[in-house]
Amino acid sequence: MLDPGYGYVRISQFQSRTGDNLREALEKLEEKSDGPLKGLVLDLRNNPGGVLSAAVSVSDAFLKDGIIVYTEGRLDDAKLKFNAKPTDILHGAPLVVLVNGGSASASEIVAGALQDHQRAIIMGKKTFGKGSVQTILPMDNGSALKLTTAKYYTPSGTSIQATGIAPDIELENLKIAESDGAASKRLKEADLARHLEGDGERKQGDAKAADKTKDGGADKSTPLAKRDYAIYEALNLLKGLAILQKHSS
């Protein structure tokens, strides 16, 4: 969980059970959230791809209908089309997908499908551009010949090959750094000596002291959204989309 109600899932590569693993991970996040998520960050950065069926399964998890991906080749058996089933496991909650130049093949299929169906905001850098289909032919001498037999196309008919997926929001490769706050800190009522305590202020102070004692005086590790600039921006965008969705409903 990045924040109460906001989840994060990273897929490092697409294997046969990736779709099932994603659904299991989201169920656990919903348990931690005590209900449906307000939004999700799906991290596909530096994911080189993998099994096509896994990319279809992951895309299908968030789409209710329409084409996920299709292939075109010289021969009829190279022409395939994959459609979504009417189930969105996020129940329409906002989705942000993080990509970069290391996102390739199956990652681009997922990003392209969710982008074309306007189901997710794609954020980061343009993807690798690996949109070709290879067929492996076994040879009599025990070796094999790998041929490029088709190309992947997004639902809108855009070829992924050599072009990649352009993000809706491009991010620079920045790092988050904590400010010491010395120049911008403003004096507040709570900073004044012998100020009148507000309701719950004493309880809050006692709770912090108890946590510090329990943890042996050590600070907890820095949250992921404060260590990774892209995740930080994605979380802020999710919060804005969730607010907008709530106001429009």
Residue 218 has pLDDT above 60, yes or no: no
Distance set, CA 15 to CA 22, 92, 214 (Å): 11, 26, 41
pLDDT score recorded for residue 204: 63
pLDDT score recorded for residue 65: 97
Distance set, CA 164 to CA 34, 62, 128 (Å): 38, 21, 6
pLDDT in tens, 144-187: 999 999 999 999 999 999 999 999 999 998 887 776 665 556 76
Distance CA 170, CA 219 (A): 33
181 compared with 36, residue with greater pLDDT: 36
pLDDT score recorded for residue 215: 47
pLDDT score recorded for residue 212: 47
Query: Active-site residues: which are they?
Result: 105, 116, 130
Give the contacts of 120 (CB within 8 A, at least 6 positions apart).
Answer: 42, 62, 95, 96, 97, 111, 114
pLDDT in tens, 183-205: 556 767 777 777 777 776 665 66
CATH topology for 6-177+220-248 is 2-enoyl-CoA Hydratase; Chain A, domain 1 (3.90.226)
pLDDT in tens, 53-86: 999 999 999 999 999 999 999 989 889 999 999 9
Query: Is 0.85 topped by the overall pTM?
Result: no
pLDDT score recorded for residue 213: 43
Burial 4-27 (b: 16+ CB within 10 A, else e): ebbbbbebebbeeebbebbeeebe
pLDDT score recorded for residue 206: 58
246 compared with 212, residue with greater pLDDT: 246
